[in-house]
A = this chain, B = another copy of it.
Amino acid sequence: MRPQRYLLSITLSLVASVALLQVAMAQNDPLPSWNNTGAKTAVIKFVDRVTAKDSADFVAAEERIAVFDNDGTLWSEQPVYFQGLFALDRVRAMAPKHPEWKTTEPFKSVIAGDMKGLMATGKQGLAKVIAASHANMTAEEFADSVARWLETARHPTTGKRYDEMVFQPMLELLDYLRANDFKTFLVSGGGIDFMRVFAERVYGVPPEQVVGSEIDATFEMRDGIPTIVKVPKLVLVDDKAGKPIGIYRHIGRRPLVAGGNSDGDLQMLQYTTIARNASDTTPRFGLIVHHTDAEREFAYDRDSHMGRLDAALDEAGKRGWLVVDMKNDWKTIYPDSSH
């Protein structure tokens, strides 16, 4: 072989090797939609630290509990929490059967699409909208209404299905944690049985691992069929201080990982990560999704009505919580839609 051809051959095989290595690394990359920034490194480092058999900080699989907020953490929440949009759509869909709503607030405003009018009805008005769309029906009827809405409703600015507006990097994070024997839970201010309709299909989180706000229910036999009926009485507001309580009630152990995006997640992040005493040295991981990407998603934090992130952002540095910068840390936002 002539020297030139020899050099060329070496060069080509080097190029081929690097290319193969890149493919291999991409295949082994558990978080391909995350840019190679510090955020991704921090996540992987933590998971290695608590799962490597020879790690001083090894945590048994049964204690690997990871909890995630939903609105703004796993899917978008602008311009209004999606469940709120569902409630408005439901009222409109039910209106033909309730002619009295045309002249009664808050329904009158909802039917007219008059959001200012609705807001003027205050908390009591909103509670009536929630009750009409979420209660006095069987559990199955409610689940069916959510499923039908997801099929047909489209987001006002993106035109996407609401369950397409989930964050691809977070889907990968959930998968990555589960591949490392974490049990992943939703712990969200959203309704528990609203989320259960799509959590398994979209997030891989089964119904029994969904924690959310709850209204009461009754059990009765209807024509010989055991039936759960939803009752318009709040049992748990799974937001702020309600989140550690939701975790306590439903999970019964302190999480190892918590992810949120707003001040509604502050107490969950505190409960998860703050050491209880001097001997509590287990590393724990807090993560905040910071909405910094006005172009690909939305940009908001301290002044937002939905998902205000203020106190938790201040506390993140002190507590060592990872603040994920959506614009810089994420390669993509939503999954490729193929519906």
Contacts and interface: CB of A to CB of B under 8 A. Distances in A.
Copies in the complex: 2
A44 interface: no
Interface stretch (A112-120, A145-153, A168-176, A222-230): A222-230
- Chain A: interface size category: 35 or more
B221 A62 contact: no
A206 B60 CA distance: 13
A248, A249, A252, most chain B CB atoms within 10 A: A252
A138 B47 CA distance: 30
Interface of A: 62, 65, 139-140, 183, 185, 192-193, 196, 200, 206-210, 214, 217-221, 224-226, 228, 235, 241-242, 244-245, 248-253, 267, 270-271, 274, 276-277
Given A214-B249, A217-B249, A235-B249, 20 more contacts: A65-B208, A140-B276, A185-B208, A192-B249, A192-B252, A193-B252, A207-B251, A208-B209, A210-B252, A218-B245, A219-B242, A219-B245, A219-B267, A219-B271, A224-B274, A225-B277, A226-B271, A226-B274, A228-B248, A235-B235
A219 B274 CA distance: 14
Given A218-B241, A252-B208, A225 B276 contact: yes
B228 A244 contact: yes
A269 to B, nearest CB: 10
Contacts of A62: 200, 206
Contacts of A235: 235, 249
B252 A217 contact: no
Interface of A is mostly: mixed
Nearest to A220: B241
A267 B221 CA distance: 9
A214 B241 CA distance: 18
A249 B196 CA distance: 11
B253 A207 contact: yes
Contacts of A214: 249
9 contacts: A192-B249, A207-B251, A208-B209, A217-B248, A218-B245, A219-B245, A219-B267, A225-B274, A228-B245
Contacts of A185: 208
A91 to B, nearest CB: 24
A251 to B, nearest CB: 5
Which 5 residue pairs are nearest across A and B when measured between Cβ atoms?
Answer: A207-B252, A219-B241, A226-B271, A219-B244, A208-B251
Nearest to A200: B62
Contacts of A210: 252
A315 to B, nearest CB: 12
A280 to B, nearest CB: 10
B252 A196 contact: yes
Contacts of A253: 207-208
B228 A270 contact: no
Contacts of A226: 244, 267, 270-271, 274
Contacts of A277: 225
A220 B267 CA distance: 9
A237 to B, nearest CB: 12
